Amino acid sequence: MKMSGNTIFITGATSGIGRALAEAFHARGNKVIIGGRRRSLLDEVTKANPGIDAVEFDVSDPDQIARVTTHLIATYPALNVVINNAGIMPFDDVTGPLDDAQAVHLINTNLLGPVRISGALIGHLKQQPEAVIINNSSVVAYIPMSMAALYSATKAAIHSYSLSQRFALRGTNVQVLEIAPPWVDTDLVYKSGDARAMQLEPFIAETMALLETATTEVVVEAGRQLRDGAGPNEHAVVDYLNRMIVDNPLPGV
């Protein structure tokens, strides 16, 4: 994708990967609009980065998505890049009863949110000379983490949806890319400083470099082993990853 001169909407951009991507694209000469639930954090980002605009909304709410996407089309007619980054990562326990409210909120946020946003903006994107949809999944889309089983499943669904979306939009001006991060030390759960996590700054630098030539997916080197572990022999990789977490639990979990 071209890395400057775009008008970019990024969801979940008040912290972590979303904010870092917003600031990286802003620094490269793009018009960036960030979305998030918390006005105080949106204001913090825009104050620190003059020229970035913000819209307050909840990606899990279809009515708010409809309102915000209508506003975006009217206010930013050059909008040509959408980055579906917003997500939550609650832990769950598949050996016990389901927390139904948590599960519904997770699916609405991580899966239906990106699907609804893409659906609301696709007609507009098709009218642009060059357009890109970027869906943020995870390496746990390929090798799931048992302690976040439903989160992993939503990311697997986003990967699958991106494959279908890319094929369906073949021959159009809309490119579909997928970013599949490894464990990055952000506050998605909480910022732990765990040595096993990739630091945010090198992750963003490598991701931005890969986006320049990407045609399908972006996987940094630190995530390549898990990405490539999926397939006929994935059961051993799933067992290895989850035993490593059980034997060396995350701090505070």
- Say if residues 13 and 36 touch (Cβ distance below 8 Å): yes
Q: Select which of 151, 161, 190, 240 is catalytic.
A: 151
Contacts of 156 (CB under 8 A, 6+ apart): 137, 140, 141, 142, 144
Active site residue 151: yes
Asked whether the beta carbons of 174 and 189 are under 8 A apart, the reply is no
d(CA 232, CA 174): 32
Q: How far apart are CA 185 and CA 201, in angstroms?
A: 10
Q: Cα dist. 98→20, 91, 104 in Å?
A: 34, 12, 10
Measured distance CA(227)–CA(211) in Å, rounded: 17
* Dihedral sign from CA coordinates of 231, 232, 237, 242: positive
Q: Which amino acid is at 175?
A: Q
Amino acid at 169: L
Write out the catalytic residue numbers. Answer: 151
